[in-house]
Structure 1
Amino acid sequence: MDASQDKCSGVIASHSDLRGRRFVKDPMVFKIRVRTLNVGTMTGNGREIVDMMQRRKIKVLCVQETRWKANKAKILAEGYKLLYSSANPETRNGVGVILHRELEEEACEVSRVNDRIMSVKMMFGGEMVTVLTAYAPQAGCPEDEKEKFWRDFDGVMVGIPENERVIARGDVNGHVGGKECGEERWYGG
């Protein structure tokens, strides 16, 4: 079965042997702009976000802190589709991926891990790509919640086949500077 019959069965050929050689540009390879945005809330912001995506020519936008409760998909405006995850009704987190109308049909698998991590498997220019969005716990959250987030994130990354490209975007709440004890270094939220 080839990729045109089942778009989730794509195989990526290694391009490492092409370094330094001239070659004709493959018409199946194309550039795609993927960005991330902590929206604070999706309520009432759908049209504004779609307008921003159009102005900046963004095809895929990973959003964090959607604050919507459910695991669903919704058309926002002009055919842009939001796939979102916020399985826990007690939290105010939530993540999602907004797809340009041209890419809506390219999504072949959505994995909603929890209200902080989700991935969308898609075909981009003949290659299988996993777009991963994440929203890490803030500095004031309990350590066990932070550790669980990073274990879950690591589990998702390990589960992605090596022949797939990964685009990971999100708000990982990292901090740069000194800790209260005077130690200077960077650390995750």
Structure 2
Amino acid sequence: MRGVPAERRSRPKTLVIQHEQQHPRLPVQLATLNVGTLTARSRELASSLRSRRVDICCIQETRWKGSKCAEIGDGYRLTYHGLSDRNGVGIVISETFRNYVTAVDCISDRLMGVKVDTGKVTMRIISAYAPQVGCTAEEKSSFYEDLEQYAYSIEDEKVLLL
């Protein structure tokens, strides 16, 4: 996986969500990662997430075609969406949270989301891969319109994570 040298990498942040007074706190370790490509490297990704105790990781630039869900090892499940051999997004979920996934929304090869409902809190996690400098103004506009439309369509969740 591409990235900065190990000593300069930031650690995933733990998000503690308190839904209502009667419910205990729910710790969720979140991360996001531009993987560059995932070809033959999904086990490496799972191992890395496990060692960092990440529960949910949004990944970008998978470069995989199709919409699928697959076990990638160490108790992690990858749900991904892509339209061609470029772009592509996914969300990796640990065994702790994968049984709480109640919906998967594949919007485009740059945008997808999952709904996680633990009974204590409902979260919508969005994996987004924004167009870069070399993309056309039309691509950029389309991406941000899709993102805005999707974000505003989410009403029942208490927590929205992008």
Q: Could you tell me the TM-score, scaled by structure 1's length?
A: 0.72
Structure exhibiting the larger radius of gyration computed from Cα positions: 1
Identity %: 32
Does 2:108 correspond to 1:114? yes
How many pairs align?
A: 145
Relative contact order, higher structure (CA 8 A, sep 6+): 1
Select which of 119, 122, 146 maps to 1:128: 122
Kept in 1, the 8 Å contact 2:124–2:161? The answer is: yes
- Compare the two structures and name the one with the higher strand fraction: 2
Does 2:66 correspond to 1:70? yes
Select which of 47, 63, 68 maps to 1:51: 47
Q: Gapped runs of 5+ residues in structure 1?
A: 1-12, 16-22, 169-189
Gap change, CA 1:61 and 1:67, over 3 Å in 2:
same
Does 2:31 correspond to 1:35? yes
What's the CA shift for 1:14? 7.6
Stretches (4+) displaced over 6 A: none
What's the CA shift for 1:47? 1.2
Kept in 1, the 8 Å contact 2:23–2:120? The answer is: no
Q: CA RMSD in A?
A: 1.9
Q: Gapped runs of 5+ residues in structure 2?
A: 1-17
Q: Could you tell me the TM-score, scaled by structure 2's length?
A: 0.83
What's the CA shift for 1:164? 2.5
Select which of 152, 155, 159 maps to 1:158: 152
Q: Aligned partner of 2:57: which letter?
A: L
